[in-house]
Amino acid sequence: GQNIDQPTEMTATEGAIVQINCTYQTSGFNGLFWYQQHAGEAPTFLSYNVLDGLEEKGRFSSFLSRSKGYSYLLLKELQMKDSASYLCAVMDSNYQLIWGAGTKLIIKP
Partner 1 sequence: GAVVSQHPSWVICKSGTSVKIECRSLDFQATTMFWYRQFPKQSLMLMATSNEGSKATYEQGVEKDKFLINHASLTLSTLTVTSAHPEDSSFYICSAKAGADYNEQFFGPGTRLTVL
The reply to whether 42 sits near partner 1 by the rule CB under 8 A is yes
The reply to whether 90 sits near partner 1 by the rule CB under 8 A is no
* Position 88, amino acid: C
Which class for 57: exposed (0-12), middle (13-18), buried (19 or more C-beta within 10 A)? exposed
- Cα distances (Å, whole numbers) of residue 94 to 26, 29, 51, 80, 90: 11, 9, 18, 37, 11
The reply to whether 16 sits near partner 1 by the rule CB under 8 A is no
Q: How far apart are CA 24 and CA 30, in angstroms?
A: 12
Q: What is the DSSP letter of 8?
A: S
Query: Which residue among 18, 73, 75, 87 contacts partner 1 (CB under 8 A)?
Result: 87
Query: Which residue among 62, 72, 100, 105 contacts partner 1 (CB under 8 A)?
Result: 100
Query: Which residue among 26, 34, 43, 82 contacts partner 1 (CB under 8 A)?
Result: 43
| Cβ 15 to partner 1 shortest distance, Å | 27
Residues making contact with partner 1 (CB under 8 A): 30-31, 33, 35, 40-45, 48, 50, 87, 91, 95-97, 99-102
